[in-house]
Structure 1
Amino acid sequence: MMALRKDVQNWPIVTACAGRMKEIKKALFDRMPPLWRHILVLWGIATIPALIIGAVTNAVAFLLEAPPPNFGSQHSDQWISAFQSIAFAPFVETLLLCALIEISTSLGVRKIFIAASAAAIAGLLHAFITLIWFFTSAWAFFVYACAYLAWRSASFSEAFAAAAVVHALNNATGVAMLFLIALTKSS
């Protein structure tokens, strides 16, 4: 709040947002037992902004007449893609995320930079599938990295679970929405 003028700092919207940002920062970077409750909190923090980001980027892509991403296009069966998104990808991608975090931590990199670099790397890798996924994946992986970092001091298994389960829930939300969209288009 130091960068804001004194009169602006007292505006109700500014003070309300500043308070919420402190709560979000605490939820991201501090372990909040029990693990299952923290996972649910982080799921909301990962998913709601990712949905908004996805809606905005899809709207921009639509206005630019870009071809829409095709869920399940790499397989003839969308159920295989759903399984990969909900079970396989969170497991493998979270293992890679853990390796990146452990290497970065051993080099003395600060938590915020670890989470930001994980977000950028994951966003870039997901952009190979479809450009729009850069934005949603970058935000989500920032949250997954924060989840791992928050629980890292407890144990590897808890830290891995915090990141992987939030990842799986986020992907499951996206898959469910895509299936609902497909159902409405077919009827």
Structure 2
Amino acid sequence: MIRKILAEPVPPLWKHILMLWPVVMLPAMLVGGLAQLGALAIGMQPLRFGTAPGGGWVSSFQSVLFAPFVETLLLSLLIEISTKAGLRRLPVAVLSGAVAGLLHAIVAPLWFFPTAWAFFVYACAYLAWRPLSIAKALSAAALLHALNNATTVALLLLIA
């Protein structure tokens, strides 16, 4: 079932986003937590969330609205170039996740793991809706990304 909702649009768009939300959040939280434990086990400095996602409402706003919009535009550019180059859907989604994970790891190395998974799912959402329209594809990825970030920000604000 998960493979189907990653590969095919499930109209209406809002329903598909809500179906993908736990597919993004739960594995990202799991892999992020395991990465933290691994870092601690080898003596690496763990990622400290104290003020993350940057502290304050401005940073929260950026995480929930600005980042999903800008990053989805960049994601769509990578996806469109990759598909025009002849890559199939799965390699495009994996590449998208890896590139986004690496870029986020510049800020904090442990962000690679949850970010790579999340962007893999955003790319799948984009690719599922792309045959219908680019607007729906962008909306699918950006709204899912915004929902994921909003959930993360809310959780961080609760524990801070």
TM-score range normalised by the length of the shorter chain: over 0.9
Structure 2 residue aligned with 1:53: 31
Partners of 2:26 and 2:113 in 1: CA distance? 13
Question: Do the aligned partners of 1:62 and 1:68 also contact (CA within 8 Å) in 2?
Answer: no
Change beyond 3 A, Cα 1:143–1:74:
closer
- CA shift, 1:65, in A, is 4.6
Identity of aligned residues (%): 53
- CA shift, 1:106, in A, is 1.0
Change beyond 3 A, Cα 1:53–1:108:
same
Question: Do the aligned partners of 1:90 and 1:167 also contact (CA within 8 Å) in 2?
Answer: yes
Partners of 1:104 and 1:53 in 2: CA distance? 26
- CA shift, 1:71, in A, is 5.5
Structure 2 residue aligned with 1:79: 57
Question: Do the aligned partners of 2:97 and 2:118 also contact (CA within 8 Å) in 1?
Answer: yes
Question: Do the aligned partners of 2:53 and 2:63 also contact (CA within 8 Å) in 1?
Answer: no
Q: Normalised by the size of structure 2, how large is the TM-score?
A: 0.93
Partners of 1:127 and 1:105 in 2: CA distance? 25
Structure 2 residue aligned with 1:152: 130
Structure 1 residue aligned with 2:159: 181
2:66 corresponds to 1:66 = no
Question: Do the aligned partners of 1:69 and 1:130 also contact (CA within 8 Å) in 2?
Answer: no
Partners of 1:126 and 1:38 in 2: CA distance? 26
Give unmatched runs, 5+ long, in structure 1.
1-22, 183-187
Partners of 2:9 and 2:46 in 1: CA distance? 41
2:81 corresponds to 1:95 = no
Change beyond 3 A, Cα 1:140–1:74:
closer
Structure 2 residue aligned with 1:6: none
- CA shift, 1:59, in A, is 2.1
Between 79-88 and 132-141, report the one with greater CA deviation.
Answer: 79-88
2:102 corresponds to 1:124 = yes
- CA shift, 1:26, in A, is 0.5
- CA shift, 1:158, in A, is 0.6
Give unmatched runs, 5+ long, in structure 2.
none
- Superposed CA RMSD in Å reads 1.6
Q: Normalised by the size of structure 1, how large is the TM-score?
A: 0.80
